[in-house]
Amino acid sequence: REPAPLPPEPALPAGFSLRRKTLTNALKGVVEGEALRAALRSLGLAETVRGEALDVEAWIALANACARG
């Protein structure tokens, strides 16, 4: 398993800190918007997905997809 390129701080706390926020909104300022949307699409996830909907493997896959750009 590759190490996740998104640093746990602040990506993970941001993904969970704002209740009822999508990852696209919660990760503003942490991940560039288009890179995040492209990563979500590449994983078959909706742009409206919330942090609590992802398991650990999905978070790792998302971090790796964001890093690939």
Look at the alpha carbons of 40, 45, 48, 53 in this order and tell me if their dihedral is positive or negative: negative
Residue 67 pLDDT grade (very low, low, confident, very high; cuts 50, 70, 90): confident
3-state DSSP call for residue 50?
strand
The pLDDT tens digits of the residues spanning 10-58 come to: 566 666 666 678 988 888 888 888 989 999 999 999 999 998 898 888 9
pTM over 0.85: no
Q: Token pair of 28, please?
A: 């503003």
Burial of 52 (0-12, 13-18, 19+ CB in 10 A): exposed
Distance from chain centroid for Cα 14:
9
Owner of token pair 């890093």: 67
